[in-house]
Structure 1
Amino acid sequence: MSQSNNKENIEVWEDLVRIKDLVISLVICSGTSLGGYLIAPADREPLIFGLVGAVTGFIISSIIIRPKRTFHYTEEE
């Protein structure tokens, strides 16, 4: 891996992640979670709306940010 690539990536759970993609996904998921929590009606449980917002943010992030990993299979003898 080149030196410039090391500055753009950080290690999260033993996987390399681009800092820009991580920040974008954190902003999206935080915004949708907080938005769901804040729009919850007073007579309902706001945690459920926050969880639905988090799942929605995850789906949006997975559509916007494409994986950069490639797999190469080798045959074993």
Structure 2
Amino acid sequence: MHHNKQPHSQENIEVWADLVNIKDLLLALVITSALTLGAYFIAPNEEPKPLYYGLVGALIGFIISSIIIKPKRKFETTEDK
């Protein structure tokens, strides 16, 4: 399997040996952080509910980010001769 990476541009940064769009990364961070903190602060003040609410908020933020932000990488199958 062969994959094409996005060309290096000003809108991309390298994270863990992969190119990431800065705008998409910031959008995902804002969504996930807002939902995590929001869920944490609305949780009842009984241990360990703030932790559980925060984790659920983070999970929901991750799911929303993965739906909104689509992968940009294209994979092509090639046959070696």
Which one has a larger percent helix, Structure 1 or Structure 2? 1
Q: Which residue of 2 aligns with 1:59?
A: 63
**Secondary structure, counterpart of 1:41 in structure 2:** coil
Q: Which residue of 1 aligns with 2:30?
A: 27
Which consecutive residues of structure 2, in runs of 5 or more, have no partner in the other structure? 1-6
**Secondary structure, counterpart of 1:58 in structure 2:** helix
Q: Which residue of 2 aligns with 1:68?
A: 72
Structure 1 CA distance for aligned equivalents of residues 26 and 57 of structure 2: 17
- Using CA pairs under 8 Å that are at least 6 residues apart, name the structure with larger relative contact order, 1 or 2: 2
Deviation of the 1:76 alpha carbon: 2.3
Equivalent AA in structure 2 for residue 65 of structure 1:
I
**Secondary structure, counterpart of 1:71 in structure 2:** strand
Matched, 1:18 2:2: no
Structure 1 segments of 4+ aligned residues over 6 angstroms from their partners: none
Deviation of the 1:44 alpha carbon: 4.2
Q: Which residue of 2 aligns with 1:50?
A: 54
**Secondary structure, counterpart of 1:6 in structure 2:** coil
Alignment identity in percent? 61
- Count of aligned pairs: 74
Which consecutive residues of structure 1, in runs of 5 or more, have no partner in the other structure? none
Q: Which residue of 1 aligns with 2:40?
A: 37
